Amino acid sequence: MTSDTRGWTVVCPLTRLDLGRGVAALVDGVQVALFRTAADLFAIDNRDPVTDAYVLSRGIVGSRGGVPTVASPLHKQVYDLRTGDCLDLPGVAVRWHQVRCRAGLVEVRLREET
């Protein structure tokens, strides 16, 4: 993985991401879960805040009311892939990150912890 001066890190070619599935990547020391849906790319922290296990990349990708989601593979809490908010437990969230595809390469820019 390579980073540019604006904080974007090349993670992988877009062709390595399967539709409707997640993959884990290490970006500047942070485990990130990447997801490719028919409509977009998403990146969130891979750590499930309910269990503290790094498993969200193995979650079930879907949608709820038109919102792209991933369900934790452990206790099935559902997270909004756009915002990281847990749709089942108010006040629980995972950090989301910026993600883009440039020249066929998926790039991630980490957001600061809040």
Identify the burial level of 50 via C-beta atoms within 10 angstroms of its C-beta, where 0-12 means exposed, 13-18 middle and 19 or more buried: middle
Tell me the domain boundaries of the chain: 2-109
Distance CA 35, CA 59 (A): 10
pLDDT at 2 over 80: no
Query: What integer pLDDT is reported at residue 114 of this predicted model?
Result: 64
What is the reported pTM? Answer: 0.92
Q: What are the tens digits of pLDDT across the range 4-48?
A: 557 999 999 999 999 999 999 999 999 999 999 999 999 999 999
Q: What are the tens digits of pLDDT across the range 63-106?
A: 999 999 999 999 999 999 999 999 999 999 999 999 999 999 99
Q: Amino acid identity of 15?
A: T
Question: Which homologous superfamily is 2-109 in?
Answer: Rieske [2Fe-2S] iron-sulphur domain (2.102.10.10)
Give the three-state DSSP class for 15: helix
Q: Which helix (H) or strand (E) holds 30?
A: strand 30-36
Strands 2-3 and 9-13: antiparallel
